[in-house]
Structure 1
Amino acid sequence: MKQNARFSCSALKRVCCAVCVALLSAHPIGAALAQGFEAPLNVAAEHTPRMLTSPMLAVASAGSRLVAVGLRGSIIVSDDSGKTWVQAQVPVSIDLVAVTFASAQSGWAVGHGGVVLHSSDGGMTWEKQLDGLQASKLAIDFYTRNPEQIADAEGYLSKEKNLAVEQETQPFLDVYFADDRHGFVVGTFNRIFATEDGGKTWAPLMHRSGNPQEWHFYSVSGKDGQVYLSGEQGRVWRLDQTSQQFVAINTPYNGTLFGITALADGHVFAYGMRGSFFHSSDQGQTWQRSTLPFTSNVMRVIAAGEKRLLVVAQSGQVVQSQDGGQTFSPVTLNSPMPYFGAVLLDKGRLALAGAAGVRIEAL
């Protein structure tokens, strides 16, 4: 049902685009505009002071540097704890939604159009490692070569061929790297790819996802060799190290889980819509729900000590727990805004990415 709806919308968009191009082409100025259009995946992000205060959807630490990503390919960096920012060199102008750094120098960002960007200089310059069209071709080649080794290889191949024919791309919504070489990117409709060489090559893992319904993956997180995904319908998936399959786990919730945070010793936090917040101490086998003092979407959960947690809400609220998520108290903020991402800094400070850029708050 989801696939058919997606393809029907795509067909409608193509018709509308064709009509618009025809109308534009009938006018001299419109003809020049139509002929000059380039896809955002092939156009570098615009350099403008507006980018420094435009919405930022995620922020990460690259050593002592802060790196934030947002709309229209904007990536900004700060070397003075957020006092001043400069814009990075980015080869795409498509929305970026997640960023991570495995070291002070090596980082990755993902977003719409199935784009995967890599930086080897702490976020100042970026190169495209993968996009949705390339990802689809990789999947087609992979499932074509392995029809007997992979159950339902023909089904995965058919879906990828449909994407290729439609010239569609699926967004990647999150990225996780355990080190400079081993990482995952995940996205809508069961999209998951892995790399073992720092993103030089990528392999599709849709056949290992344990997700026959093709729910969206919203988040990927790891710790101490464990890797977890979260997504629609209250689902969490854990990578089984022996079979290398992602095993689906139910939580006491049937809504969307926007994020998952893996800590040491098997502790995992899953969170999402309407203040949903769940904790597992046994690698996701059992879950306990905690009640938060708000009903807004939970966007980020950060470990700030052995038992201390920070919970960031889209509504602009931050609460903290000193007992591992059993009880919570509010954090007073100087200048709240709608939040989408956060990262903990030293000296008791928190960098918050949101509707008006990045702000630093003392805890």
Structure 2
Amino acid sequence: MDKNCVINLTNLIYNLNQIKKHTNKKIIAVVKADAYGHGAVEIAKVLEKERVAYLAVARISEALVLRKANIKTPILILSPIDPSDISLALENDLTLTIFSLDWLKKITPKEKIKLHLKVDTGMNRLGLKSIDEIKEAISIIKNNENLCLEGIYTHYATVDTNDELYFKQRDFFVQILNEIDYDFKYIHTSASAALIKQKEDFTNAVRPGLALYGLKPAPNLDLNLKPILSLYSNVVQIKNLKKGEFVSYGPKYVAKKDTKIAVIPIGYGDGWLRRYEDVPVVISDKHYRIVGRICMDLLMVEVDDKVLVGDTVELIGPNITVDEIAEKVGTINYEVVTNLDKRLKRNYIR
């Protein structure tokens, strides 16, 4: 088998339907970072058939990959694009984010281009930060027939950890909606955490990302979602070590007794990072520990006599979840899946 990710598209559709039932709002499905490592083109094909209102990506390059794959669903680019790429955006029917007044003043589209206005309600990343700025932006748009302001949105910093800051951001956004004179087709604030935890009657769309892939944005936020990704490899060689022999670079691991080692063809070049050394792998429902340093293409585990060449190795799955891996290495589930490299084959099942 070598190594591959198995992506369950039935679970993807189930998760989407769970979100729809919970929110009853338009879905702007986030497929940036190669659909969080799940494969943007195949994921987008499914989401398109399920008639999501929009897809969202971070880079124009990501949007172009989808258009090249004949994805017709509207695509929102969440991050800045260079004004020189406006023609490319027009050619591919892409919706852009207004993230600053300076950028808005620089773009000169020759045809109508759809825009969503990003409001900075406190994260201090992208977006217009004051009501005066936003009113000026809308004035510019109203005076240019080629600028079509379709939506307005923001992003919350602390939905899962700090209610006070969430309410501060939310209230500022609501204040802006009340003070500006514009009829938006899309009003969206909630990514996965907020759409699960908060009920917002002033929006009509949500931006699920992580939740689509069956992962929790926080331990206490759950919609009974199903993870859609598993990762497997196989044992390609068994080594019988004598006491005192070592494994891998360093050497960090030296056998304290005669020991059996299984070699597995996956490493940090595949996104299985060196800091995952304390994350076990699963063979025949039993956990085995990694020994020695994880290499670019290989890792080694200490095994018993039951493990044979060709045995399937579970790295992500029902016996070792993405959340467990993230907790063990002190990171977030987003990082674990987005690190999975494209040289890992994606197999899509239903």
TM band (smaller chain): under 0.3
More strand by share: 1
TM-score of the superposed pair, with normalisation by structure 1: 0.27
Higher relative contact order (CA closer than 8 Å, sequence separation 6+): 2
More helix by share: 2
TM-score of the superposed pair, with normalisation by structure 2: 0.28
Please identify the structure whose Cα radius of gyration is greater.
2
